[in-house]
Chain A
Amino acid sequence: MRRSKWQLAMACLLSVCLLVTVTGCGDTGTDAGKDAIKLGVILPLTGSEAMFGTMEKNAFEMAYEELKAAGKTTINGKEIKLVFEDDQGRQDVAKSATEKLVNQDKVALLSGGYSSACTNVIAGSAQTMNIPFVAVTGSADDITKKGWQWVFRGTAAPASKYTGALWDMMDNVIKSKTVAIIYENTDFGTSSAKGFRQECQKRGIQVVFDQHYESGAIDFKPMLANLKNTSPDLVFAVSYVMDAAMIVKQMKEIDFNSKFFVGGGAGYTMPEFKENAGDASEFVASTTLWVPGVTWPGAGDFFKKYTDKYTKEPDYHGAQAYATAYVLIDALNRAGDLSPAGIQKALKETDLMTVMGPIKFEDWEGYTNQTKPSTYVVQWQKGKLEVVWPEKVKSAAHVYPVPNWKER
């Protein structure tokens, strides 16, 4: 019986220690900058999504330095400061990070969020605490469809709207009769596929194959062999980075030809895709939100500067973060007062040209504070990612139909 008394004593002692630790947690940042305007950014800096989180952090810092050089980071003698928090790609940690930034660091506004899950949680918390939150990458439709006034999304399209330019191209050039859809069973994958399926129904296009898979498989041939038997005109695939490379490589192996293979963003536009898939990547097309060759002012410069500085090519995630940093600091500069409501008002009035195109937070089709996305169709040609649609901004002519594997 003495044992459990001892336990209780320990429990008391440890809970005191715990309280001290917990209180200690937040104190680190509170006194450092009373005169600073803090901008909280939550990104996955460890865990399996760290690759993108780090890229976005770099882009944020790069934009901040540029703006600092331009003298935009000081407002009325108060300096704007970026405060980064790691969410480890886990949503309960994202919630903790949000709580810390808002209640301990007293940030003026929030940004970040890579995965849809984390973005959902941050958005919900920001809405309940009445702090403006500008999402960077999270693309789940729900995030801006709940009518949440404190949540803004400028640089990312809702997943079901990723394919705008593709449909334009479909109607004018491709005119497929049968399509196949393959997608990963994640939030992004299912939302994209759902959007694509609905558009197909609207146009009376027959979906001959429709299957999802678990990300991270080594062997896609069983699915692809089935797909081959349905011989669709066009294949629409939504895949995470490396699944994309595995899929096109194995398509080549089993000699499956379609007139056009188009990815739904994400995996099919990354430098890693090209590297791993090798020549199987040739003529693979994809919808995307951004490419280095896009005509928006500063896009090419951003790509070059980032590549020089961090010796790694950025993809659209980097551009999203870079553009978001510009939007945030622009809004802070315009805000009449730096209360959450003042910043919310300034954000709402945003009309800024960025490397991701014009950003304007509008309410449309049930979305709230959502920029109308500009999307592109890109195609790998001779190892380079070329914009092939819309006509106005294309950097190369499209190749359609794509030659068969054996005729290359």
Chain B
Amino acid sequence: MELLSQTIICGILLGGMYALIAIGMTLIMGVMNIVNLAHGALVMVGMYVTYVCAQEFGVDPYLGMFVAMLVLFFLGCLIQKFMINRLVEVESILPENQVLLTVGIMLVLTEGIRLIFKSDYRSVVTSYSSDTLYFSGMAISVPMLTGFFIAMLFTFLLHLFLTRTDLGKSIRATAQDRDAAVYMGINASKITMITFGLGAALAAAGGSLLLPLFYLWPDIGHLFTAKSFIITILGGLGSTGGAIVGGLILGIAESLGATYISMGYKDVVGLVIFLLVLLFLPGGVRSLVKRWQA
């Protein structure tokens, strides 16, 4: 019983942080309808910004996170405006060449970081890095718990932003129907730019939350790209609430798989769930909710 509850709690905490990274992707995929393979690289760049803040200026990672979010917001805007947007406007046989462009961006970001920081493994050790709470036989890591709550807070704030502000509403409108949004007087190219920036900033936040308990090297991005995809599809494209549920499902499933099958098959469990959802519930969790409401 202890083993089971420990497994599930670990899964939930980790899933929450995955979810924050995935929300960035779900926003981008929802509004722009492209598969962004550079997402993990953006997480990685964000983590390096936080790392530099902590190492050079002694800023706590939870504060450095805000610097990273700002930097990544602008980086995201630039990438969208000057690179990806070009492709949206020109005609091509396969729209998927946008995906390939994100692969190129990923290569450039990863190798650029590698030139600056080398391939060395870096980590930020804080006074609270290895603090642990013990609770009826279960061990809960403090930075993981903190990370989970900050991730949830960000998600809540984002939800408010998307539902209560004009800008947020424009983003949702563009995601639902780009053409209709343009007819309503929304500047779609500005909205996509801001969305991409926002997605990048959230990715940076998610990465920074992991920094006190994980470590960092230039190729770390791949890890997050794959997870974000799975969560995005699990939750349903463009749905923030869905991404949270997706993150939690993935976290718990991986944890259970690791405990009761084998650590080696942990990722297989995640991928199989992903395929099953694709096949039998293509709209993700969101479509389930809609069906239930109707």
Chains A and B directly touch (beta carbon < 8 Å) = yes
| Residues of A bordering B, CB below 8 Å | 46-51, 54, 185, 211-214, 216-223, 225-226, 229, 241-242, 245-246, 249-250, 252-255, 272, 275-276, 278-280, 312
9 closest residue pairs by CB, A with B = A213-B263, A222-B258, A222-B259, A51-B119, A50-B119, A276-B123, A48-B219, A254-B139, A223-B263
Given contacts A211-B262, A222-B258, contact A242 B118 (CB under 8 A): no
Assuming A185-B264, A213-B264, A255-B139, is B130 touching A280 (CB within 8 A)? yes
Q: Is the CB of B3 within 8 A of A253?
A: no
**SS class of chain B's interface: helix, strand, loop or mixed?**
helix
CB proximity to A under 8 Å, residues B139-170: 139, 141
Give the residue of B118, B125, B263 whose beta carbon is less than 8 angstroms from that of A217. B263
With a cutoff of 8 Å between Cβ atoms, the chain B residues found around residue A254 in the complex are 6, 139
Cβ–Cβ < 8 Å partners of A51 in chain B: 118-121, 217
Most chain A CB within 10 A, of B255, B258, B264, is at: B258
Q: Contacts A214-B267, A242-B215: A275 and B125 contacting too (C-beta < 8 A)?
A: yes
Q: Answer whether A223 and B119 are a contact pair too, CB < 8 Å, given A211-B263, A212-B264, A213-B263.
A: no
- Are B10 and A221 neighbours in the complex by a CB distance under 8 Å? yes
CA distance in complex: A263, B132 (Å): 24
The reply to whether the CB of B210 lies closer than 8 angstroms to some CB of chain A is: yes
Contact of A49 among B6, B119, B213, B262 (CB under 8 A): B119
Q: Could you give 28 example pairs across A and B, Cβ below 8 Å? A: A48-B218, A54-B119, A211-B262, A212-B262, A212-B264, A213-B263, A217-B263, A218-B213, A219-B10, A219-B254, A219-B255, A221-B6, A221-B7, A221-B10, A221-B139, A222-B255, A222-B256, A223-B258, A223-B263, A229-B3, A241-B121, A242-B123, A245-B123, A246-B214, A253-B141, A254-B6, A254-B139, A272-B121
**Residue from A50, A245, A252 whose CB has the most chain B CB atoms within 10 Å:** A50
Residues of B202-255 whose CB lies within 8 A of A: 210, 213-215, 217-219, 223, 254-255
Q: Are B125 and A50 in contact (CB under 8 A)?
A: no
- Residues of chain A within 8 A (CB-CB) of B258 are 213, 217, 219, 222-223
List, in ascending order, chain B residues with CB within 8 A of A246's CB: 214-215
Cβ contacts under 8 Å, A216 to chain B: 223
Determine the chain A residues whose CB is within 8 A of the CB of B218 once the complex forms.
48
B178 at the interface (CB under 8 A from A): no
Q: Report B-chain residues with C-beta under 8 Å of the C-beta of A218.
A: 14, 210, 213-214
Q: List the B side residues contacting A255 at CB < 8 Å.
A: 134, 139
Residues of B within 8 A of A280 (CB): 130
| Residues A242 and B121 in contact, CB atoms below 8 Å apart | yes
Q: Does B266 contact A (CB under 8 A)?
A: yes
- Give the size range of B's interface with the partner: 35 or more
Interface residue? B190 (CB, 8 A) = no
Give the Cβ gap from A189 to chain B, nearest Cβ, in Å: 10
Instruction: Give complex CA distance A219, B255 in Å.
Output: 8
| CB of A407, distance to nearest CB on chain B (Å) | 16
Report chain A residues within 8 Å CB of B114. Answer: 46, 50
B42 to chain A, nearest CB (A): 18
Instruction: Evaluate contact between A275 and B123: CB separation under 8 angstroms.
Output: yes
**B60 at the binding interface (Cβ < 8 Å):** no
A250: which B residues are within 8 A, CB to CB?
141
B262, chain A: closest CB distance, angstroms: 6
Query: Are B125's CB and A278's CB within 8 A?
Result: yes
Closest chain-B Cβ to A141's Cβ sits at a distance in Å of 21
Q: How far is the CB of A87 from chain B (nearest CB, A)?
A: 14
B129 at the interface (CB under 8 A from A): yes
Inter-subunit contact B129/A226 (CB<8 Å) = no
Other A-B pairs beyond A51-B118, A219-B258, 14, CB < 8 Å: A46-B111, A46-B114, A211-B262, A217-B263, A218-B210, A219-B14, A222-B10, A242-B215, A249-B130, A253-B132, A272-B123, A276-B125, A278-B129, A279-B130
CA distance A94 to B213 in the complex (A): 35
Q: Which residues of A contact B118 (CB under 8 A)?
A: 50-51, 54
Closest Cβ–Cβ distance, residue B244 to chain A (whole Å):
18
**Contact between chains at B263 and A220 (CB < 8 Å):** yes
Which residues of A have CB within 8 Å of B10? 219, 221-222
B208 CB to closest chain A CB, in angstroms?
14
Instruction: A218 to B213: give the CA distance in the assembly, Å.
Output: 8
Chain B residues, CB < 8 A from A220:
263
- A204 vs B213: C-alpha distance in the bound complex, in angstroms? 39
CB neighbours (8 Å) of B7 from chain A are 221-222, 225
> Inside 8 A of B254's CB, which chain A residues have their CB?
219
Complex alpha-carbon distance, A276 and B217, angstroms: 13
**Bound complex: CA A249 to CA B129 (Å):** 10
Interface membership of chain B positions 115-128, coded 1 if the CB is closer than 8 angstroms to chain A and 0 otherwise: 00011110101000
Most A CB within 10 A of own CB, among B129, B215, B218, B263: B263
> Smallest CB–CB gap between A271 and chain B, Å?
10
Asked whether A276 lies within 8 Å of B121 as measured between CB atoms, the reply is yes
Per-position binary interface string of chain B over residues 1-39, scored 1 when its CB falls under 8 Å from any chain A CB and 0 otherwise:
001001100100010000000000000000000000000
Q: Is the CB of A214 within 8 A of B266?
A: yes
CB distance from A50 to the nearest CB of B (A): 4
Nearest B residue to A275, CB-CB: B123
- Nearest residue, chain B, Cβ from A270: B121
Complex Cα distance, B14 from A185, in Å, reads 23
User: Contact between A253 and B263 (Cβ–Cβ < 8 Å)?
Assistant: no
If the complex has contacts A48-B217, A253-B141, are A272 and B120 also in contact, measured as CB distance less than 8 A? Answer: yes
In the bound complex, residues from chain A placing their C-beta under 8 Å from that of B210 are: 218
A190 to chain B, nearest CB (A): 11
Query: B254 to nearest A CB, angstroms?
Result: 8
Q: Which residues from A are CB-within-8-Å of B14?
A: 218-219
Chain A residue with the shortest CB-CB distance to B259: A222
Closest to A182 in B: B263
- Decide: B266 and A213 in contact? CB cutoff 8 A: yes
Q: Please, which residues of chain A bring their CB within 8 A of the CB of B119? A: 47-51, 54
Q: Which residues of A contact B121 (CB under 8 A)?
A: 51, 241-242, 272, 276
Contacts of B134 in A (CB 8 A): 255
* A244, chain B: closest CB distance, angstroms: 11
Whole-angstrom CA separation of A185 from B263 in the bound complex = 10
B223: chain A residues at CB < 8 Å are: 216
